[in-house]
Structure formats: C-alpha cells, structure tokens
A and B are shown apart, each in its own frame.
Chain A
Amino acid sequence: MTLDEIFVLIGGILLIALVVWYFWFSSSEGTRVQSTSGGLQEALIKVKGGYSPNVIVVEAGKPVRLNFLREETAACSEQVIFSDFGKQATLTPHKTISVEFTPDTPGEYEFQCAMGMLRGKLIVE
C-alpha cells in the first residue's frame, strides 16, 4: 500500500466517523419555549431548508402556538405536518402561519415537511 492509499483509507474512515457522529450521535440543543401570561407557549420557527430551531421544548397541558415563517419558495417546505396531532399547515412564503394545539402527553413528537425531508422535533415535558 502506498502512502497516498493509506492516506485515503484513513481519511475515508475518519470522514465516515465524522458523518456518523455529526448526524446521529450529536444532538442539538432544544429551544425552550417561553409561555405568556395567558399560558400560551409561543415560538417562532424559521423555515429555510430546515426548521430553525428544529428542537422545541414545551410543557405538557398548555396550549402551544408555533409560528412558522417560511423564508424560501422551494416547494419542499411548503407544508408542515404534525401527524401526531393531526395538524398541517400550508406555509405561505414570507408570511407567518400559526399551528396551534395542546400536547397533553409528554414525549417526543416529530414534525416534518410533506416529504419528510425537513424534520423537527417537539419535546413535551
């Protein structure tokens, strides 16, 4: 094995390890939603190639209002679906569209675009 081959091999393995770690084993911090005096938990989520923030932490039993602001026209992100809550919204570009529901049971709920390309997580505590 020549030097460059060893280089490529080790580089490849390291790169794969990096991909595995970055996408599967590191987790991003969730954003905790502040609740208003009325008990409503409201958060703004920007949609552009993904949801930011994409992990949202809320409290169980209190109404949640998630305001989606889609800052792109790419059709992929047109819809946001909360299948566990039976909610969906068509996001009009550059407009704030709200999705409201009350999560009663603590747990982790995924939300995503119509094709499941963009994903986010709602953690109910």
Chain B
Amino acid sequence: MAKDVVCGMEVDNDSPYQSTYKDKTFKFCSENCKTKFDENPEKYVAKHQDSPATYQITTNGIENIQLPIVDMQCASCATTIEKELRKLQGIKKAVVNGATQNAYVEYERSEVSVSKIIDSIKKSGYRTGYAKLRLHISGMHCNSCVSQIEEELEGISGILSASVDLGTEAALVKYIPSKVDYPALKNIIERMGYQVTEISRKNDETISDPQNTVGASTDQVDSEPIDENEQARNREYKSLMWKFIFSAVISIPVMIFSYPDFLGLPEQFQRGTDLLYWIWFSMGVVTLPVMFWAGSHFYTGAWAAFKNRSANMHTLIAVGVTAAWLYSTVAVLFPEIFPTEALAEVFYDVTAVVVALVNLGLALEIRAKGRSSEAIKKLMGLQAKTARVVRDGKEQDIPVEEVVLDDIIVVRPGDKIPVDGEIVEGSSAIDESMITGESIPVEKYAGDEVIGATINKTGSFKFKATKVGKDTALSQIVQMVEEAQSSKPPIQRVVDKVSGYFVPAVIILAIASFVVWYLVGPAPALIYALVVAVTVLIIACPCALGLATPISLMVGVGKGAENGILIRSGEALETAQKLDAIVLDKTGTITEGKPSLTDIITVNDFTEDQVLSWSASVERASEHPLGEAIIRGAEDRSITLSDPKNFNAIPGHGVEAEVDGRKVLLGNIKMMRDNGIDTGSLLDKSTKLADEGKTPMFVAIDGKAAGIVAVADTVKADSKEAIAQLKKMGLEVVMITGDNQRTANAIAKQVGVDRVLAEVLPEDKALNVQKLQNEGKRVAMVGDGINDAPALAQADIGLAIGTGTDVAIEASDITLIKGSLKGVVLAIQLSKATMRNIKQNLFGAFAYNTAGLPVAAGLLYPFFGILLSPLIAAAAMAFSSVTVVTNANRLRKFQPKYSKANK
C-alpha cells in the first residue's frame, strides 16, 4: 500500500494514477489528486517528506512538549501548575521542574492542544515563555498566500501562532524553541515557494507587545545580551561623577570666600564689606543647585525613608547639609537677628563640599562593587552561545537555548562545550578549569560526562545532551552562588540589630551635642553647637556598617566558585572556619572508589603476563567489579584476552573456566583447598596483601598454583597530602568506612589518618558523626553526597565531594565539584580568609563610628581642644565605605596556599 500525498488516502500500489517527481514515483487515488500534484509537486513533496520540528510523536499519538515557564521561583508553584495541568483531558504526564522553570508535558495530540496547555498554565497564575521570530517573507502576492502560510505554520507542533502580514511582508511566529527552530521554519516557508529574507529574533518571555520585534536585521541570531544592570550602574557612576565635578567646582570659590580672614584675602574681601556680603549672597544661590541637583538623591532618599518611618545615610546627609545652608542663609539675609555679629557666620562650604565628597565616595564605591561581583559575571559569561548539533543527519549551528535533551552535539578542538552531556563517540582532553578549578585538562572517552562551558582541547567528539537550559551544572552553580551571596552569616545578625537603631541614634546624638554645646560650650555657643551637630550627622557612616559583611561574603563565595568550591550559605562559611574534627568517608573520598589491579605474584615458572592474561580472560565472563579491575589492568598492559569457555561461578569461592584449552581457577583459599591445590608460599603473601587492605585472588592453571592477582581500591593521588594539611590546620581527621577494620587500618596508615571508624553500616554513619559531636566537637563530614547524605546533614558542615555535574546536593553545605580532597583544604582556607575579611571590615566600620562620633561631638575639645571640621568628617565618611569595599576586594587575590606549594 502507498499513500496519496495530496489527500492522504491509502492507495493500491498498482493505482492507475501515478506521477514521477525527482526520481520518485507517487501514487494517487484519483485523477484529481494527480492533477493537483502535477501542478505543484513541490508543495506536496515538502509536506510529505519534511519533518522540520524536533518534536517526537510516538506511534500511539502521544507527544512530548517542554514549555518554559516565566517568573516561577518557588517549588510550590510547580505543584500548582502540575495540578492545573492534570485537570486537562488527554494529559498523560505533567511534571514541572522548579529549578529549570520548565514544564514537561506528555499529551494525547487528538485530545488536547498545545494552546490549551498554555491556557491552563496561565490559569494557574503563570506565563509560559516562548520565542518570537519575525520573518520577512517575499513572494507573497495575495491574501490566500497569507492564510496558506499561516495554516501551514500553525499546523506544526511547537508553533503557537503565526500571523502573516501581506502589507509588510512579514510573519510573526511565536514558537517554543525546543520544538521548532529557525532553519525549520525557513525550510517550511521556502518549500511553499516563498523566500525568507530577513529575520529578527527575540527570546521574549511573555505575551507582551509584539511591536518589540519590529525592526528586523539580517539573519542575526540574538545579539550579545546587554546587561541592563551593568549599564544602569555605569550611568549612575557617570552621573555621580558629574555631580561630584559640579559640586567640586562650586566648592572651590565657596571655600575661599568662607574663610576670608583665615586665608588672608585682600582688604576689600574681608568681613563686613559690601563686596563680601554680595559674594556670600551669591554663594547661597549657587549652592542651591548643588543641594537640589547634585544632592537631590539625598533628599529623595531621606524623604522616602522618612515616610517609612526609617532613616538612613541620606537622612543624615540631607539634614546636615540643609542645616548648614539654612543657618548661613539666615546669617546672610537677617544678620541683625543674631545677638552678636560673630554669629552671623556662613557655612555654604559645608553644603558644597559634603555633597561633593559624598558623591565621589558613592561613585568610587560603585566602581569597587562592580569588581566584587566579577566572579558571578565571569561565570555567567562562560555560557557558550551556539551549539553544533546533528539534526536530520546534518550538522547545523543553533543557539544554545534551542538545544534539547538527547541532541547529539559535535565538538571540535578549541570549541566550548555548550551543555552537559555524555560522550557517545570520540575522545579528547578537556579543560575544565573554569568549572572545577583544576588546571590540568582531563582525558575523556565515550561514556564519560562532559560539563557545559568547559573547553575541548585536542580531539573531536560527539556527545549526547543530558542537561540543558537551567539544568546545566553552570546554571545551577550560578544560582547557588547567588543564593549563598544573599544569605547572612550569623555574625551579620548582630550587625543588623545595631544598624536598625544606628541612624536615629546618630540623630539623637547630634541633637544632644547641640544642646550641650549651646549650654556649656565656649562662645559663640550657637556656632559651635551647630558645627558640632552637623559634624556628627555627617561623620556617621551606616553604609560601611551595612556593607561590611555582604561585600566580603560576595567576594569570598565568588572566589570559591572560581575554584570549584560552592559554599551554599554564609552560615556554612562561618562554621567551616571553626571546626574541630573532620570525618572523611573512605570509599570515593579518600580513595578512588573503584578497585584497580595492584599486585601480581607468580609461582611455578608462570610469567606475570600469563597469569594476568588467563585470569582476565576468565573474568570476561563475570560481571564482578573486582573482575573488571583485573580486565582493566590487563588492558592497560595491552594484553590480548581470549574468550573463556565453560565458565562457572562458585559463590563465595571464585570462578573457573577454560581459556586457550587450559583450566583456570580464580578464587580464594577455600577454592584452592577444595580443588586440592597446593598454594605453598602464596598463602603468606596473600595474608600480607590482605593486611595492606587489598583483595588477593589465587590463580591456578591446570590444577597447579600459578600466582596471585590482587586488587584494591586505590588512594587518590593527593589524599595523603591533603590530610596532612588538614591536620596541620589543627583538625582531628577521622576516617569512616563500612569496610573491615583490617582494610580500613591499612588505608588509614597509608594516608596518615589516626582515628578510624570501621565496619560502620551506611545508616549508622550519621550516628557516628553525632557521637563525635557529643564529644563537644564541631564536626565536618566529607562524603559523596549520595550514600552519605544523612551523615552530611548531621554534621555541622557537610561537604559533598567530586560531584561533577550534580552540583545541587541538598544535604551538603559545601559542594566540591572536583574529586580531590585538596578542595576540602581550600574550602576551609577560603572560609577562614573570608571570615577574617568580614571581621576586619566590621571592626573597621565599628571602630570608625565609635571613634568618629564622639570626636565629632567634641568629646576631645575640653581636654585637647580638638574639634573636627565638618569638611574632614565628610571626607572620612565618604572614604570609609570605599575602604570597606576595597578591603573586601583584597579577597579576590586569595590564593590557595595548597596549590601554590604544588605548582
């Protein structure tokens, strides 16, 4: 049977209505269909052969769709959406992943449509994301072409809507990027006989204005994403700098004429002259724009805070600056109201200089803060832009957002790997330093995991995408780092309490100082009282206090991420630097976690290669992990293996088989005894191997002892060094394992661990951690994060090690992407460095305020005659917060002491 491509009917193969097009014969049900076909064969062939979208239709009509959901940030939102979706008819499966912000829906195509699914998501309060594409189509002449294209496009799964405008020759297509892509769309339209000439694409989140996409550019796929926040920051920096320059320029003459006697100006500028009066008057006028333009943010900020019954830095500056200006203006306009002439003093310089300096301080702070967040920007910038995928047997470059699960992606030398996946073909050395912090490229073969954003060095390979979009290790790392940076270490809670009361307290201090100086201060009391009150307001720096912890945390956590260490919260950071004991899981943490061949011992004139070759050949038939280790050992020595015959596994004893016509026995001493084999001197050797923590297996050939092959879980290369380093830091290092005491002791001796907890059942690991905690110790647990999850959660700090792309392990407080124990050392060092930095900052900020405020209030005046000028106060205030940020930025230079010693 064949299919009529025009009407879709089944037709007999010997149908009289046949037509040949491009070397292919098409059969039709009637003359009518044949004529239609002959008129425009392209149209039907296109429809018939083309499968542009990457959606999957299974035989029973069930389809999968992956819909991005916008603005979904909580786990419970996921359940809300799922519930709503499941209400629909024809939904087979609906899973909403909160982390990836995607809904995966399996549905019966005949019962429900994509648009219904989208409506249902909308009903649950969320919006679905889709991409918009504006195509310019030429060759359209009539309205029927329009509806034809629209119908054609809308019939394709993954296209949500298509509207074609004849007037502008444009089509606006809303589509789901994972299901359709630009080449497919282009293909469809071109096969209908039109040309797609121009395109603009926008990955837009919502239904919002289609006008956005007007203004097409030639074949341009997503321009560089512009960081709007970065732009805003730059604009703010520039605007602050201009405001600084403006107020600084005004400040100079204002300062000069504020102190005519002090600076020794000519006679005509001295106090009491008309000229100086008019100069002062104009100073009052020119400082107005300084206050209300250059300093406008102080007023708006202060007012907004005031409305909310709170006060902040802006309040202090605004009040101080305004008080100085008002007093001066009264002094200029109504000098007669003051009892003595000396009181008719002006302080316009305070207004101008304070605004100038504080603006400069804020501008510098923005610059410095930009550097503090560099780590996360760097991480986000790692994302590859395009991927070279194989679709329909062709390689094509597509934007990385369009890569879907199970896509096969081609990576050439020098390419950036776009998403996470598993190598299916080829091998290469891959530079993973940007994710793991490990500078040496890693060799990878088929079956190995590759991480998105890492760089392929030498070979070409193909890999299957296993994690895309927000699931990739990189996206999760970015998310985790952001989360950690927004958390608060416990130390900050104290600061928070203080800073809540700080600003009002400063205002009260200013008022109190004014009163005291007015009552008991030297003459002219009003002037002194005013200057002191303004100085108190200006010198207080709540910013430095509030900034101290978060800025260091941001730099420290970012630095960790650069080195493959993901610190999940500020609390983890604070705990990690005051640990007493560290528990290391043996398997997979201290050791590689998989056995490998360690020793071959031969007797009776057999060679090592013979013994290995035969035992490995026997093991080919077994599936035991120890057997695999032997086979790998043989392969590493390039020994050719034969196929075993008559294979027989004897549980609890070993295996036997015939290899190359010889009978080979491989097993324990019991097996040898049962078969009457004299093991002779081998027995002692096997005991020795077992004492070293290895698993020895006897080999006998044709009833004669041939030797021993031993396998063991080998210790990672740098475990010993790392453990020594941990001990040097004053930590008690404990090893925990389910293995027997003998094996455990052997490994412990190798790596230098003193305390061993052996024969611990997996479920009892947490209990053992708790026992250590009951000794009054703060305990860290290092494990793989899967089997050790309860123990990780029980410990004061849980470190999950060697997680590859599974970075978001719930139970862990710190995740180490790389498998080395060195990461543990580094994590502790970094925590220490960060906490030290935070303490420095807090000390600095507290010391500054506790010393600065009393001095500003004039506490030193009765004893030493020292009184601060408000101008000095402004400078000190402006630079105190810059100092805090700069100190935090010193952390960026943090170098792991460890790796330095090894380089």
Given contacts A12-B515, A38-B124, A117-B312, contact A98 B73 (CB under 8 A): yes
**Residues 358-370 of chain B, each 1 if its beta carbon lies under 8 Å from chain A, else 0:** 0000100110010
Given contacts A24-B504, A75-B233, A102-B75, contact A114 B365 (CB under 8 A): no
Other-chain residue from B307, B503, B512, B542 in contact with A52 (beta carbon distance below 8 A)? B307
How far apart are A74's CB and chain B's nearest CB, in angstroms?
5
Q: With an 8 A cutoff between CB atoms, is A122 at the interface? A: no
- Number of contacting residues on A, CB 8 A? 57
Closest-by-CB residue of A relative to B520 is A5
Which residues of B are found within 8 Å of A82, using beta-carbon distances? 486
Which residues of A are found within 8 Å of B307, using beta-carbon distances? 50, 52
Q: What is the CA–CA distance of A100 and B125 in the complex, to the nearest angstrom? A: 12
How far apart are A11's CB and chain B's nearest CB, in angstroms?
8
Q: With an 8 A cutoff between CB atoms, is B72 at the interface? A: yes
Q: What is the CA–CA distance of A28 and B310 in the complex, to the nearest angstrom? A: 10
Q: What is the CA–CA distance of A87 and B542 in the complex, to the nearest angstrom? A: 23
Which residues of A are found within 8 Å of B73, using beta-carbon distances? 87, 98-101
Which residues of A are found within 8 Å of B297, using beta-carbon distances? 49, 72, 74
Is there contact, CB below 8 Å, between B511 and A19? Answer: yes
Closest-by-CB residue of B relative to A118 is B312
Given contacts A12-B511, A39-B125, A87-B486, contact A115 B547 (CB under 8 A): yes
Q: What is the CA–CA distance of A55 and B736 in the complex, to the nearest angstrom? A: 50
Query: Which chain A residues in 5-25 approach chain B with CB under 8 Å?
Result: 5, 8-9, 12-13, 15-16, 19-20, 22-24
Is there contact, CB below 8 Å, between B512 and A12? Answer: yes
Q: What is the CA–CA distance of A74 and B362 in the complex, to the nearest angstrom? A: 9
**Residues 47-80 of chain A, each 1 if its beta carbon lies under 8 Å from chain B, else 0:** 0111110100000000101000000111110100
Other-chain residue from A48, A51, A117 in contact with B543 (beta carbon distance below 8 A)? A117
Q: B-side binding surface: helix, strand, loop or mixed? A: helix
Q: Most chain-B Cβ atoms within 10 A of its Cβ — which of A24, A82, A86, A95?
A: A86
Interface 9-mer from B212-220, B494-502, B670-678: B494-502
Is there contact, CB below 8 Å, between B228 and A100? Answer: no
Q: With an 8 A cutoff between CB atoms, is B384 at the interface? A: no
Q: What is the CA–CA distance of A105 and B778 in the complex, to the nearest angstrom? A: 28
Query: Which chain B residues in 65-119 approach chain A with CB under 8 Å?
Result: 71-77, 80, 84
Other-chain residue from B75, B228, B500 in contact with A92 (beta carbon distance below 8 A)? B228
Closest-by-CB residue of A relative to B233 is A75
Which residues of A are found within 8 Å of B547, using beta-carbon distances? 114-115
Is there contact, CB below 8 Å, between B77 and A72? Answer: no
Is there contact, CB below 8 Å, between B308 and A93? Answer: no
Closest-by-CB residue of B relative to A48 is B304
| Chain B contact patch, size range | 35 or more
How far apart are B533's CB and chain A's nearest CB, in angstroms?
10
Which residues of A are found within 8 Å of B804, using beta-carbon distances? none
Q: With an 8 A cutoff between CB atoms, is B41 at the interface? A: no
Q: With an 8 A cutoff between CB atoms, is B229 at the interface? A: yes
Is there contact, CB below 8 Å, between B486 and A83? Answer: yes
Is there contact, CB below 8 Å, between B314 and A49? Answer: yes
Q: What is the CA–CA distance of A30 and B501 in the complex, to the nearest angstrom? A: 20
How far apart are B488's CB and chain A's nearest CB, in angstroms?
4
Q: With an 8 A cutoff between CB atoms, is A43 at the interface? A: no
Which residues of A are found within 8 Å of B507, using beta-carbon distances? 19
How far apart are B345's CB and chain A's nearest CB, in angstroms?
18
Closest-by-CB residue of A relative to B548 is A115
Is there contact, CB below 8 Å, between A54 and B300? Answer: no
**Residues 463-496 of chain B, each 1 if its beta carbon lies under 8 Å from chain A, else 0:** 0000000000000000000110111100000011
How far apart are B228's CB and chain A's nearest CB, in angstroms?
5
Is there contact, CB below 8 Å, between B486 and A49? Answer: no
Which residues of B are found within 8 Å of A27, using beta-carbon distances? 309
Query: Which chain B residues in 500-534 approach chain A with CB under 8 Å?
Result: 500-501, 503-504, 507-508, 511-512, 514-515, 518-519, 529
Which residues of A are found within 8 Å of B312, using beta-carbon distances? 49-50, 117-118
Q: What is the CA–CA distance of A86 and B572 in the complex, to the nearest angstrom? A: 13
Q: What is the CA–CA distance of A99 and B486 in the complex, to the nearest angstrom? A: 13
Q: Most chain-B Cβ atoms within 10 A of its Cβ — which of A65, A92, A114, A115?
A: A115
**Residues 261-301 of chain B, each 1 if its beta carbon lies under 8 Å from chain A, else 0:** 00000000000000000000000000000000000010011
Is there contact, CB below 8 Å, between B504 and A54? Answer: no
Q: With an 8 A cutoff between CB atoms, is B582 at the interface? A: no
Q: With an 8 A cutoff between CB atoms, is B194 at the interface? A: no
Which residues of B are found within 8 Å of A117, using beta-carbon distances? 312-313, 542-543, 546
Is there contact, CB below 8 Å, between A88 and B486? Answer: yes
Is there contact, CB below 8 Å, between B77 and A63? Answer: yes
**Residues 32-44 of chain A, each 1 if its beta carbon lies under 8 Å from chain B, else 0:** 0000101110000
A residues with CB within 8 A of B: 1, 5, 8-9, 12-13, 15-16, 19-20, 22-24, 26-28, 36, 38-40, 48-52, 54, 63, 65, 72-76, 78, 81-83, 86-88, 90, 92-93, 95, 98-102, 110, 114-120
> 6 A-B pairs, CB-CB below 8 angstroms?
A16-B512, A19-B508, A76-B301, A78-B233, A100-B77, A118-B305
